[in-house]
A and B are shown apart, each in its own frame.
Chain A
């Protein structure tokens, strides 16, 4: 990943973060909320190659750690999304291509979002954070999974085009 792309990715994630915190979080979704940020971050991680996934995951996590409403220590999301990115990187062949099997891709994105939230909960518990009852947490996880699977196909084509546009000629090859 070139330095220019790192900066542009960081900027993109920050804009996305502002949209999530100021607009998406205002919507009262049935069951539970939807994290547009996580859905797009996991999609981008799935698009990238091995090293690109790791860097994208780390950058997405660092921006998410800036959330002023978060109780978690700074760096927790960076650690978790880097770990999720590693899982995506080593299982790249299973995830397949967006154009060849979009449904599988969407399912993987949904699973990635849910897995990252579970990892966030578990890691938070290790650090002594209180995350509520099992029923409450399960509702949030289920709600996020449902909304991610429903909304990801809507933004995925546009996201794919934006990413292609941001690639350098060398990276396109």
Chain B
């Protein structure tokens, strides 16, 4: 065979390329064979992912923890060697506690919205071989989860269910470039469309030409027909930048999401939303602000002082 391929080699290349194109055509035409093969793969993968996730989750943030290595001194290293097994157990315990805290928060958010939810643990993240942003969760159709259901974390919306098997589901994250969600601004009730950009920022396009976006505006989901794929009122994010360039029909803005998609441990899938009344937005609870009133002790004033002496209660209070 000549270098670069002879007739047989060229024939092989053509056969393989045509086969690949044949598969692509079948998939694009919606033949269930290709979709079925991916579903079977997910069914095989999910038990492995569950097991690996249980073992692997304390190690998953290895690189972000590396910077703390320098803080350990010789004494700590000795203790580490002595208590290796104990520390391993503690790491597992801390991981479980972290997941429990996330579960509590996410159930709290779901409770405020009167949503019926199914809690699930994240067992895998999307492959680095593709550019799609997904997670796999350990609950599927046996828990009542169906495709096109809203998925929330402790802070708000994170995505939508893409596909399910009996015991696992794949969630398309809101950061995925193909993700779109109808949102409304809590302040003005203007409606817009939020798109994922692949990172932690999102693009907002208002639908109303007369509507305005302001920095700090809070966005909640607008809701879909029959609450699928999105239930109304779920916190989405906050506007961090507004594009006021001329020439566009409607205003656009940059949004930062409430949910941290890089730190997902436990999530909830909204199985059903209240149907009695239009859902009120479950806006994020503001952090409590501690107000301290400082009243200075009145100093003794000489009787000969001229002018009115302010009483302590009349003095201006200092607000921290």
Chain A contacts to B: CB under 8 angstroms: 18, 20-30, 32-35, 37-38, 50-51, 54-55, 57-58, 61, 64-79, 82-83, 86, 89-90, 92-93, 120-121, 124, 127, 129-133, 135-137, 140, 144
The answer for the CA separation of A136 and B202 in the assembled complex, in Å, is: 12
Give the chain B neighbours of A124 by CB distance below 8 A. 131
Do B64 and A28 touch across chains, with their CB atoms under 8 A apart?
yes
Docked Cα-Cα span, A73 to B3, in Å, equals 33
B121-129, B141-149, B236-244, B274-282 - the one binding chain A: B121-129
0/1 string, B102-126, CB within 8 A of A gives 1: 0000000000000000000001111
A92→B39 CA distance, assembly (Å): 38
Q: How many Å lie between the Cα of A89 and that of B6 in the bound state?
A: 12
Provide the residues of chain A in CB contact with B90, threshold 8 Å. Answer: none
Measured CB to CB, the nearest residue on chain B to A28 is B61
Contact residues in A for B163 (Cβ distance below 8 Å): 68
Query: Contact at B9–A69, with CB atoms within 8 Å?
Result: no
- Residues of the A chain whose Cβ atoms lie less than 8 Å from the Cβ of B126: 25, 69
Evaluate contact between A29 and B63: CB separation under 8 angstroms: yes
Beyond A28-B262, A82-B16, A90-B4, whether A21 also contacts B131 by CB under 8 A is no
A86 to B15, CA, bound (A): 13
Q: Mark B18-38, 1 if CB is under 8 A from A, else 0.
A: 011111101110000010011
Contacts of B53 in A (CB 8 A): 22, 26
Q: Which residue of B lies closest to A121 (CB)?
A: B131
Given contacts A20-B129, A25-B127, A58-B19, contact A86 B48 (CB under 8 A): no
Residues of the B chain whose Cβ atoms lie less than 8 Å from the Cβ of A69: 126-127, 130, 132, 134, 136, 170
Interface assignment of B284: CB less than 8 Å from any CB of chain A = no
B178 within 8 A of A: yes
Instruction: Report the nearest A residue to B203, measured CB to CB.
Output: A133
Instruction: Decide if B150 is an interface residue (CB 8 Å cutoff).
Output: no
| B222 in the interface (beta carbon within 8 A) | no
| Complex contact B19–A78 (CB within 8 A) | yes
Count of chain A to chain B residue pairs whose CB atoms are closer than 8 Å in the complex: 185
From the candidates A22, A30, A71, A76, name the one contacting B132 in the complex (CB within 8 A).
A71
Distance in angstroms between the alpha carbons of A137 and B127 in the assembled complex: 14
B3–chain A nearest beta-carbon distance, Å: 8
Q: Does B69 contact A (CB under 8 A)?
A: no
Nearest 4 A-B pairs (CB), nearest first? A75-B23, A132-B198, A33-B128, A136-B198
A37-B129, A54-B12 as given contacts; A74 in contact with B34, CB under 8 Å: yes
- Does B13 count as interface, using CB distance less than 8 angstroms? yes
A71 touches B129 (CB 8 A): no
Report the bound CA distance from A76 to B131 in whole Å.
13
- Which residues of chain B are near A71, meaning CB under 8 Å? 130, 132, 178
Cross-chain contact of B127 among A35, A51, A133 (Cβ < 8 A): A35
Known contacts A21-B127, A35-B127; decide if A66 and B52 are in contact (CB<8 Å). no
Interchain CB contact under 8 A, A67 and B38: yes
B211 to nearest A CB, angstroms? 25
* CB atoms of A82 and B13 under 8 A apart: yes
In contact, A26 and B125 (Cβ under 8 angstroms): yes
* B60 in the interface (beta carbon within 8 A): yes
CB–CB B16/A73 < 8 A: no
- What's the minimum C-beta distance from A107 to chain B, rounded to whole angstroms? 20
Chain B contacts of A132 at CB under 8 A?
131, 176-177, 196-199
